[in-house]
C-alpha cells in the first residue's frame, strides 16, 4: 500500500512539475490598312487580349515550373475569377497606384502546386499602353513579406478554399507590354502570413514561374486579320460505447483526440494505411490479420541471417490500426478497422546494418521507392514517422506522385526542437502538402522536444506516453512526434473511409477546421493550427464533401461577354480605342511516467511481458549531413547510436 501511495504521489508531482514548464506561442473599309494602322490595331488587340481570347488562353490549365530541388512539376489551375475591375483585383496598397497610372481592367485565377500545399492567385492588370504599365510596375514592391497588393481568389472545394489575403507570403510581378502580371503565394491550409520568424522563400518559387508563363504570351504580337469579328476595316456601330478491457493509457490518448466519438460514424473500414517504417513483426498481439507486408527496401543492409526486430514499425502500426486483443492489455488504434500495408524503408535502432544503410547509394531512395509502391498498391494514407534534414529531388517527386493521386501523406515533424528559436526543417514533413505533425502533452502544449518551425500543420498526443504493440506478445510506452503522426494518420483513415473522394488538401482542411487547443492568432510554429480532433474532423469532412467547388468563369468563356465587345478599328476613317517544456519539465514527465507504470504494475500485480530492449525512433536517410538530436524520452534501451536519430524513445510498458 505504501508503494502505491508513493507512486501516486510521484506521478502527481511529476505531472505538476512538467506543467510548470509551459509552452511558448509565438505567424497578379474600302481601302487596305496601312502598316501603321495594322501596327496600331495589333497593339490594341494585345491590350485587349484578356477579354477577347478565351480565359484558358490567358490562364492555361497547368503551368510547368522548376522546384528548388531542380525537379520539374506542374501547377494546376483551380478557377478563374469572374470580375474584371482593377479595384476588385487589387487591395488598397496598390489600387491607388494602379488607378493613377490608368489601370483599365484586371482579372485573376488561382493555381495549386503539384503537392497541393501552396496556392497562388495570379492577376493580370491591363493598362492603356506599355508606358503606363511600366510606370505602375516600377512601383510594385516585389517580394514583400508578407505579400501584399493582389487580392487572393479562394475557391471552395479545392486546396485554395482557405487561402485568404492575410495568408499572402510572397508577391511576384512582371511587365508584359501593356500588362502587369502579379502572383500572390501562400499556404493552402490557410495559415496567416508570418510577420516574424523564418521565411521559406524556396517554397514559393513557383510563383515566379507562373507569372512568366502567363506574361510571355501576353507580350507577344497579335496577328491582325482585317474583316474578322475582332478586327473591322470600317468603324462599327456601337461513436460506439467504450470498448471493454482497453487499458486506461490507450483510452486516455484516444479520448484526447475524440476517437471513440468518431467511431459512431466509422472505424476506418476499407482504407489501407501504408506504414513506411522498419516493418511489422510477427506476434504483435493487436495486429493479427491486420497487416500486409510489402517489399523490404533495406534488404542486404543487415548481415545474412539476421532477423530484424521490427520494433518501431510495429509500434506505429498498432497506434493506427490496433484491433484490441482483449483483456486489460489490448491496444486499439485510432482507425481499428483500417488495414496496414507495411513497407520496410528504414532500420530499427541498433541494427547491425545501420552503417551500410546510411552509406550505400543503394538505399538512398528507399523511402521514395516505398511511397511509389504504397500508392500503386492501394494505400489511401501514407504514414512516415521518420525524417531527415536534407531533402532530395527523388523524395519530393515521390511525395508529389502520391498527393497527385489522392493519397494523404502524413509525417512526423521531428524531435530536435529542444533549443530556443526555430528548429531544423525535416523531410518529408517540410514538403508543402505533407501534413507535418508536432507532439503535445495532455494539456495540448507542445512537447519540449517537438520541432518548432513553419512546416508544422497539426499536433497530436506524443508529449507523454503513448501505448503500442511490440512483436512477440509485448507492449511499450513511448513519446515523440512518431506516435503523434500515427494518430493523425488514423484520423485521416477515418475521413477517407467515410468520404473516399475527398482530396488530400480537403482532408487536411477538415482536420485544421476542427482542432482543439487552437493557438492564439490561429496558427503558430509550435503546434500548427492546434490538436487534431477525430470527431470534429469527420463532421467538417462531411460539410466539405457535400459542397461543390465554386465554378468561376468557364475556361472557354471570354472575360467580357461578346455582345459587349466592339471590333477593333483597323482602317481609321473616323476617330476611335498576393520554446516549450524546460529540462525540469522533461524530468517531471520521466518521473511521472515511471511512477505511473510502476503504479499500474503494483495495482494489477501482474507484470507486462518485457519489451525488447529499446524502441527505435525514425532514422536519417542515407547521405544526410550533421548530427542528429535525441527525443528526450526514456526507455530501457538507453541512448541511440551516433549515426541515427530518434523520432521517439520508449519505455517498456
pLDDT, tens only, 510-522: 999 999 999 998 9
All three cell numbers of 412:
512526423
Cα separation, 618 vs 313, whole angstroms: 10
Q: How far apart are CA 582 and CA 447, in angstroms?
A: 10
> Binning pLDDT at 50, 70 and 90, where does residue 640 land?
very low
Q: Which of 201-210, 294-303, 531-540 has the lowest mean pLDDT?
A: 201-210
Q: What pLDDT score was predicted for residue 423?
A: 83
Looking at residue 624, the DSSP 8-state letter turns out to be -
The pairing of beta strand 72-80 with beta strand 408-412: unpaired
* Residue 612: pLDDT band with limits 50, 70, 90: very low
pLDDT band at 627 (very low <50, low <70, confident <90, very high): very low
Q: pLDDT confidence of 626, banded at 50, 70, 90?
A: very low
User: How far is Cα 257 from Cα 515, in angstroms, rounded to an integer?
Assistant: 9
Beta carbons within 8 Å of 386's beta carbon, 6+ residues apart: 276, 277, 345, 346, 367, 411, 412, 482, 618, 619, 647
pLDDT at 155 over 60: yes
Query: Mean pLDDT for the chain?
Result: 81
- As a whole number, mean pLDDT of residues 168-197 equals 86
Nearest of 618, 64, 115, 205 to residue 397 by alpha carbon: 115
Lowest mean pLDDT among 181-195, 412-426, 586-600: 586-600
Q: Is the pLDDT of residue 11 over 90?
A: no
Instruction: List, for residues 93-117, the tens digit of each pLDDT value.
Output: 888 889 999 988 889 999 999 999 9
pLDDT category at 218 given cuts 50, 70, 90 is confident
Q: So what's the pLDDT on residue 577?
A: 30
Work out the pLDDT band at 585, boundaries 50, 70, 90: very low
479 assigned to active site: no
Beta bridge partner(s), residue 107: 124
Percentage of the chain modeled with pLDDT above 70: 77
**What is the C-alpha to C-alpha distance for residues 467 and 475, in angstroms, rounded to an integer?**
7
* 440: Cβ contacts below 8 Å, ≥ 6 apart: 446, 447, 450, 459, 460, 461, 462, 463, 484, 517, 527, 531
Q: Tell me the average pLDDT across 188-205.
A: 78
Tell whether the model's pLDDT for residue 368 goes beyond 80: yes
Q: Which of 498, 482, 532 is nearest to 635 (CA)?
A: 482
pLDDT of residue 20: 53
* Given 148, 194, 286, 312, the catalytic residue: 312
pLDDT at 375 over 90: yes
The residues with which 110 forms a beta bridge, in sequence order, are 79, 121
Over residues 447-486, the pLDDT tens digits come to 999 999 999 999 999 988 888 988 877 788 889 999 999 9
pLDDT of residue 195: 64
pLDDT at 611 over 50: no
Residues 324-359, buried b or exposed e (16+ Cβ, 10 A)?
bbeeebbbbbbbbbbbbbbbbbbbbbbbebbebbbe
87, 95 contact by CB (below 8 A): yes
Residues 630-639 have a mean pLDDT of: 34
Give me the pLDDT at residue 84, please.
Answer: 82
The label of the residue with cell 535525441 reads 630
Retrieve residue 46's grid coordinates.
Answer: 494585345
Q: Which of 113, 165, 208, 277 is catalytic?
A: 277
Per-residue pLDDT at 592? 57
Mean pLDDT of 15-37: 50
Question: pLDDT tier at 317 (50, 70, 90 boundaries)?
Answer: very high
pTM: 0.76
Is the pLDDT score of 7 beyond 80?
Answer: no
- Is 113 an annotated catalytic residue? no
pLDDT at position 1, please? 64
- For residue 639, the model assigns a pLDDT of 32
| pLDDT value of residue 641 | 36
| pLDDT of res. 220 | 82
The distance between the two most distant Cα atoms of the chain, rounded to a whole number of Å, is 112
So what's the pLDDT on residue 287? Answer: 93
State the average pLDDT over residues 52-72: 89
Question: What is the C-alpha separation between 365 and 359, in angstroms, rounded?
Answer: 12
Of residues 16 and 154, more confidently modeled: 154
Whether 110 contacts 133, CB under 8 Å: no
What per-residue confidence (pLDDT) applies to 353?
93
Residue with cell 497579335: 222
At 300, is the pLDDT very low, low, confident or very high (cuts 50, 70, 90)?
very high
Band of the pLDDT at 630, cuts 50, 70, 90?
Answer: very low
Residue 645 pLDDT greater than 60, yes or no? no
Give CA separation, 347 vs 54, 299, 309, 363, 576, in Å.
Answer: 54, 10, 9, 11, 75
CA distance 337 to 519: 32
**Most confidently predicted of 63-72, 203-212, 247-256, 343-352:** 343-352
| 491 backbone dihedrals φ, ψ, rounded to 5° | -65, -40
* pLDDT recorded at residue 482: 96
Mean pLDDT is lowest, of 321-325, 514-518, 560-564, 623-627, for: 623-627
Q: SS3 for 344?
A: strand
Whether 339 is catalytic: no
Q: What is the pLDDT of residue 373?
A: 98
pLDDT confidence of residue 633: 35
Cβ pair 481, 415 in contact under 8 A: yes
**Alpha carbon 78 to its chain's center:** 18
Query: Cell triple for residue 365?
Result: 531512395
The tens digit of pLDDT for each residue in 403-426 reads 999 999 999 999 988 766 788 899
**Rounded Cα–Cα distance for residues 309 and 631 (Å):** 21
> For the packed helices 366-376 and 393-404, what is the interaxial angle rounded to 10 degrees?
10
Q: Which of 482, 628, 634, 640 is labelled catalytic?
A: 482
Q: 55 — phi, psi (to 5°)?
A: -55, -35
Q: In 377-421, where does DSSP find H-type helix?
A: 393-404
pLDDT of residue 642: 32
Is the per-residue pLDDT at 631 higher than 50?
no
> Does residue 646 have a pLDDT over 60?
no
pLDDT of residue 308: 94
**Whole-angstrom Cα Rg for the chain:** 28
Provide the pLDDT for residue 21. 40
Amino acid at each position: 500500500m505504501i508503494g502505491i501511495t508513493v507512486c501516486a504521489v510521484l506521478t502527481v508531482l511529476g505531472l505538476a512539475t512538467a506543467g510548470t514548464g509551459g509552452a511558448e506561442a509565438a505567424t497578379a473599309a474600302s481601302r487596305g490598312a496601312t502598316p501603321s494602322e495594322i501596327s496600331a490595331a495589333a497593339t490594341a488587340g494585345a491590350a485587349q487580349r484578356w477579354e477577347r481570347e478565351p480565359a484558358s488562353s490567358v490562364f492555361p490549365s497547368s503551368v510547368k515550373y522548376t522546384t528548388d530541388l531542380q525537379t520539374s512539376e506542374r501547377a494546376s489551375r483551380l478557377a478563374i475569377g469572374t470580375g474584371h475591375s482593377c479595384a476588385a483585383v487589387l487591395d488598397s496598397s496598390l489600387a491607388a497606384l494602379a488607378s493613377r497610372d490608368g489601370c483599365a481592367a484586371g482579372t485573376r485565377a488561382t493555381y495549386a502546386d503539384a503537392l497541393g500545399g501552396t496556392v497562388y492567385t495570379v492577376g493580370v492588370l491591363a493598362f492603356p499602353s506599355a508606358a503606363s504599365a511600366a510606370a505602375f510596375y516600377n512601383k510594385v514592391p516585389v517580394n514583400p513579406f508578407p505579400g501584399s497588393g493582389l487580392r487572393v481568389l479562394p475557391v471552395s472545394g479545392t486546396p485554395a478554399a482557405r487561402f485568404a489575403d492575410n495568408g499572402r507570403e510572397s508577391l511576384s510581378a512582371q511587365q508584359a507590354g501593356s500588362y502587369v502580371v502579379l502572383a500572390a503565394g501562400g499556404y493552402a491550409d490557410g495559415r496567416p502570413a508570418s510577420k516574424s520568424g523564418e521565411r521559406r522563400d524556396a517554397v514559393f518559387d513557383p510563383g515566379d514561374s507562373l507569372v512568366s508563363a502567363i506574361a510571355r504570351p501576353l507580350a507577344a504580337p497579335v496577328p491582325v486579320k482585317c474583316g474578322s469579328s475582332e478586327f473591322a476595316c470600317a468603324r462599327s456601330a456601337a461513436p460506439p460505447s467504450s470498448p471493454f478491457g482497453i487499458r486506461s493509457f490507450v483510452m486516455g490518448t484516444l479520448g484526447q483526440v475524440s476517437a471513440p466519438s468518431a467511431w459512431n460514424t466509422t472505424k476506418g473500414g476499407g482504407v489501407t494505411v501504408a506504414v513506411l517504417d522498419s516493418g511489422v513483426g510477427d506476434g504483435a498481439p493487436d495486429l493479427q490479420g491486420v497487416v500486409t507486408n510489402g517489399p523490404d527496401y533495406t534488404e542486404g543492409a543487415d548481415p545474412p541471417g539476421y532477423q530484424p526486430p521490427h520494433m518501431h514499425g510495429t509500434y506505429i502500426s498498432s497506434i493506427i490500426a490496433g484491433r484490441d486483443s482483449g483483456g486489460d492489455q489490448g491496444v486499439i488504434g485510432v482507425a481499428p478497422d483500417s488495414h496496414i500495408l507495411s513497407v520496410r524503408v528504414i532500420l530499427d535502432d541498433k541494427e547491425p546494418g545501420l552503417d551500410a544503410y546510411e552509406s550505400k547509394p543503394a538505399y538512398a531512395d528507399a523511402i521514395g521507392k516505398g511511397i511509389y509502391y504504397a500508392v500503386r498498391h492501394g494505400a489511401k494514407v501514407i504514414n512516415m514517422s521518420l525524417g531527415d534534414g536534407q531533402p532530395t529531388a527523388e523524395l519530393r517527386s515521390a511525395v508529389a506522385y502520391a498527393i497527385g493521386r489522392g493519397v494523404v501523406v502524413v509525417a512526423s515533424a521531428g524531435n530536435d526542437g529542444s533549443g530556443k528559436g526555430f528548429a531544423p526543417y525535416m523531410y518529408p514533413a517540410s514538403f508543402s502538402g505533407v501534413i507535418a505533425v508536432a507532439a503535445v502533452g495532455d494539456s495540448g502544449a507542445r512537447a519540449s522536444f517537438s520541432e518548432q518551425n513553419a512546416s508544422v500543420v497539426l499536433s497530436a498526443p506524443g508529449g507523454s506516453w503513448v501505448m503500442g504493440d511490440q512483436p512477440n506478445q509485448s507492449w511499450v510506452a513511448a513519446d515523440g512526434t512518431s506516435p503523434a503522426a500515427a494518430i493523425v494518420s488514423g484520423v485521416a483513415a477515418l475521413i477517407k473511409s467515410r468520404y473516399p473522394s475527398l482530396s488530400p488538401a480537403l482532408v487536411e482542411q477538415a482536420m485544421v477546421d476542427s482542432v482543439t487547443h487552437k493557438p492564439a492568432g490561429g496558427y503558430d510554429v509550435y503546434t500548427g493550427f492546434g490538436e487534431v480532433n477525430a470527431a470534429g474532423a469527420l463532421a467538417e469532412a462531411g460539410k466539405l464533401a457535400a459542397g461543390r467547388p465554386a465554378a468561376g468563369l468557364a475556361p472557354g468563356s471570354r472575360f467580357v461577354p461578346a455582345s459587349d465587345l466592339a471590333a477593333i478599328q483597323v482602317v481609321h476613317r473616323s476617330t476611335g480605342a498576393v520554446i516549450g517544456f524546460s529540462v525540469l519539465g522533461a524530468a517531471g514527465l520521466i518521473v511521472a511516467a515511471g511512477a505511473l507504470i510502476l503504479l499500474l504494475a503494483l495495482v494489477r500485480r501482474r507484470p507486462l511481458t518485457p519489451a525488447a530492449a529499446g524502441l527505435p525512433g525514425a532514422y536519417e536517410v542515407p547521405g544526410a549531413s550533421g548530427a542528429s538530436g535525441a527525443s528526450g524520452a526514456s526507455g530501457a534501451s538507453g541512448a541511440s547510436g551516433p549515426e541515427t536519430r530518434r523520432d521517439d524513445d520508449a519505455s517498456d510498458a
